[in-house]
Amino acid sequence: MLLPQLSNQLDSSFYDASILLGIEGNVGYRSNAIENGMVDKLLFGGFIEDELIARQYDRMNNYGRLGAQALGSFTFQMMSDSLFGKADWGWQGHLQSRYHLETYFNGGLFQAVFQGNGGEDELIQAVDGSLDYMAFQKFGVGVFHKPTMSGFIISAVNGEQFERFTNRNATLYTSAANDSLALEHSIFWGTSDTSTTGFLSGDGIGIALDGVLNVPLKESRGLVSIAVTDFGFVSWNESTLVRRSTDTWDYTGFDLNEVLDESVDTVLPSYPDTLDASGEKGKETRWLPGRVDVGLLHEIKDNDFFEISMGFRPVEAYDPYFRAGYLYQFNGNTLVGIHAATGGYGSTRFGISAEKWIGKHWFAALQTEDVFGLISKRGLGMQGSVRLMYLIR
Q: Which residues lie near another protein (CB under 8 A)?
A: 23, 25, 27, 41-48, 50, 53, 113-119, 174, 177-181, 251-257, 259-261, 362, 386, 388, 390
Q: How far is the CB of 99 from another protein (least distance, A)?
A: 12
Write down the least CB distance from residue 293 to another protein, Å: 25
Question: Regarding beta strands 129-145 and 89-106, do their DSSP bridges make them parallel or antiparallel, or are they unpaired?
Answer: antiparallel
Closer residue to another protein, CB minimum distance, 33 or 143: 33
Question: Residue 202 contacts by C-beta under 8 Å, 6 or more apart in sequence?
Answer: 158, 159, 160, 196
Please state the closest distance from residue 255 (CB atom) to another protein, in A: 5
In angstroms, the CA 94 to CA 74 distance is 5
Distance CA 123, CA 249 (A): 16
Closest approach, Cβ 179 to another protein, in A, equals 5
CB-wise, 87 or 354, nearer to another protein?
A: 354
CA distance 51 to 111: 13
Distance of CA 218 to the CA centre of its chain: 35
CB of 27 to another protein, least distance (A): 7
Q: How many CA atoms lie within 13 A of 182 on its CB side?
A: 13
The residue among 126 and 324 lying less far from another protein, judged by its C-beta, is 126
Cβ closer to another protein: 246 or 266?
Answer: 266
Pairing of strands 381-392, 123-126: unpaired
Provide, rounded to whole angstroms, the least separation between the CB of residue 273 and another protein. Answer: 18
CA distance 224 to 308: 10
CB of 376 to another protein, least distance (A): 19
SS3 assignment, position 211: strand
Phi/psi at 232 (5° precision): 170, -165
Shorter beta-carbon distance to another protein: residue 252 or 285: 252
- Of 41 and 356, CB closest to another protein: 41
User: Residues 335, 325: contact at Cβ < 8 Å?
Assistant: no
Which residues, 6+ apart, have CB-to-CB distance to 299 below 8 Å? Answer: 6, 220, 221, 222, 305
* Residue number with CB closer to another protein (85 or 118): 118
